Amino acid sequence: TYTYDPVNRLTTAASSHASNKLGETLTYDKMGNIQSLARGNYGSLAYTYDGNRLSSVSGFKTGSFGYDANGNTTTDGTRNLTITYNELNLPSQVTGNGTATYTYDATGNKIRSVQAGTTRDYIAGIQYTNGTIDFIQTEEGRAVRNTDGTYRYEYDLKDHLGNTRVSTDAAGNVIQEDEYYAFGLNAPVYAAGTKNKYLYNGKEIQDVLTDQYDYGARFYDPLLGRWNAVDPLAEKFYLFSPYNYGLNNPMIMVDPDGRATSPIYDTNGDFLGTDDQGLKGQAIVMNKSNFTQGMNHDEAVKNSTYKEGDPNYGFISEKAALKYANHYIGLKNRPDYDGKLTLSEANEWYRTGGGKPLFVDASKIDLTPVYEGDLSVGDSKYVNFASPANANFETGLVYGTIKLTLVDGSRVRLGGDNGVLDIYDFDYQKGRTGRNVATWMGKTVAGEGAGYTIYNYGMSHLKKKPQ
Domain ranges of the chain: 1-61, 65-227, 240-333, 343-461
What is the arithmetic mean of pLDDT over 188-213? Answer: 88
Of 240, 245, 358, the C-alpha closest to 293 is 358
Look at residue 396 and tell me whether its pLDDT is greater than 90. no
pLDDT recorded at residue 287: 96
Look at residue 452 and tell me whether its pLDDT is greater than 60. yes
According to CATH, the topology of domain 343-461 is: Beta-Lactamase (3.30.450)
Torsion angle of the four alpha carbons 285, 290, 292, 295, in this order, in degrees rounded to the nearest 10: -70
Pairing of strands 73-76, 81-85: antiparallel
**Dist CA 222 CA 204 (whole Å):** 13
CA separation, residue 165 to residues 40, 152, 162, 194, 209 (Å): 19, 19, 9, 16, 22
DSSP 8-state assignment for residue 399 = H
What is the arithmetic mean of pLDDT over 221-226? Answer: 95
Look at residue 180 and tell me whether its pLDDT is greater than 90. yes
pLDDT recorded at residue 241: 82
Look at residue 433 and tell me whether its pLDDT is greater than 70. no
The SS3 call for residue 177 is: strand
Phi, psi angle pair for 453, to nearest 5°: -90, 140
The SS3 call for residue 432 is: coil
What is the arithmetic mean of pLDDT over 126-130? Answer: 93
Mean pLDDT for the chain? 87
pLDDT digits (tens, 9 = 90+) for 328-355: 877 878 899 888 999 889 989 998 999 9
